[in-house]
Structure formats: structure tokens, C-alpha cells
Homo-oligomer: A and B are copies of this chain.
Amino acid sequence: MNSVPRILVFDIFGTVVDWHGSIVREVSARWPQADADAFALAWRAGYQPAMEAVRSGGRGFVKLDVLHREILDGLLPRFGLGQLGDAERAELNRVWHRLAAWPDSVAGLTRLKARCTICSLSNGNLGLLTDMAKHAGLPWDCVLSAEVFRAYKPDPRVYRGAAEVFDAERGEVLMVAAHHDDLAAARACGLQTAYVERPMEFGAAHPKDVSPQPGNTWHARNLLHLAEQLGC
């Protein structure tokens, strides 16, 4: 079970990049009067409910860019930003395309890439993930997304689909994430799992419990620590 996997697939938001810090920086620079911390948290809080409409079958598959924009349109008035025009909203929505990597991410991925195939496996759409990789220097071998499988994690089609893309046994694939629910769904499909501690995912004011859970194959402080454990 603890054999070194051939394919590593990565959750992105919170695991590889710092969505909270990136959004807070942009929003507070442009609109100093807004509560940027609460704004970032509210935007992200709309994420699961928006995808749930697709997962439940109530709505056909739409890209995360579209869902992010709908959530944004709903919350701007609450933060005193209801006057923003369409172009400004579109530009702000693209903040998800330019999120900053955690400090260890590029170095960790580079080490992991030397021995394994490394691949995003995110609910973010392909264009978002491609722009992000270019912006943050993430050295993916392949950009995979919910968009390829027309289903949002934790739908099992996403995890199974990733293994099928590489003609891999499920146990040859390792899902890496900072979220135990994502990992539990991957594990249920037969993937190995690695939990990555990101205690500041929701900002320094809202530290996250990053305790190990016994079901995971690996538990790492960050991506360099994961590379070390995998012998990369």
C-alpha cells in the first residue's frame, strides 16, 4: 500500500496556492474600506453550494469561472462594492487565475516531478489552472480539471478519470490535498492519499485544525516534506 506512486494528482485551492491571502491582498489594495478577510471567506463559502447544484444534477456542468462570478455578484453589495461595473467584476473574478503559491509549492513540485508525473486535479477550470501555473510557476506535467470529466470533486468520476487518463491502477495514483473530505473520496476510489498541513488556509486569524487522520497513506507538513517522504 505504501509503494511510491507513479502519478501524483493535486488539489489546488488551499493545497498548492493561498487563495485567502491572495484575495485579501488584492481586495485590500484596491478597496481599503472593505473587510477583505470577510470578503475572501464569503467568496470561498459560496463555492461548495454552487458546485452542489451541478453535482446534484440540478444544473448542467458549468466552469468554475462562471460559478465564481455568480457568487461574486451576490456578495459585492454586502461589502459596499455593488457599484462595480462588468469589466471590473470580470477582472476581479480572474484573481483566482493569479493566486500565489505557498512558499514551498514550486520547490516541492519540482522535486516530486523528477520522479513522478505531477498533475493538477482541481475543481478549477482548465483556463484558470493554466493561467495560474504560468503566473505562479507551477511545473505541471499535465493540467487536469473537473472540466475534463464534466463533474466536480468529490464525484468519483474525477478520481477514477484521472487514473484512466494515465492507464494507471488506482493504487498507483496519489491524491494530495489539504482537505480530508477530498482525500476520503479519493480513498474510496482506491487512490493513495497524502494530507498536507495548511494551517493558514483561511488566514492567520482563523487557524485550521491540521491533525493527522488515520486513513491517509501520507501526512506532510508541506510539499517539500512530502517529497522527502517519497524519496524524491
Residues of A whose CB lies within 8 Å of any CB of B are 65, 117, 119, 125-127, 129-131, 133-134, 141-144, 147-148, 165-167
Contact = CB atoms under 8 A, between A and B. Distances in A.
A65 B131 CA distance: 29
Interface residue SS majority, chain A? helix
Contact of A130 (B65, B133, B166): B166
A138 to B, nearest CB: 10
Contacts of A165: 125-127, 147
Given A126-B142, A143-B143, A65 B167 contact: yes
B148 A141 contact: no
How many monomers of this chain does the complex have?
Answer: 2
B142 A130 contact: yes
Contacts of A144: 126
A51 B166 CA distance: 20
A186 to B, nearest CB: 19
Contacts of A133: 141-142
B166 A127 contact: yes
Contacts of A134: 117, 141
A129 B144 CA distance: 13
Contacts of A143: 141-143
A147 B148 CA distance: 9
Contacts of A65: 167
Given A142-B143, A143-B142, A148-B148, A167 B130 contact: no
Contacts of A142: 126, 129-130, 133, 143
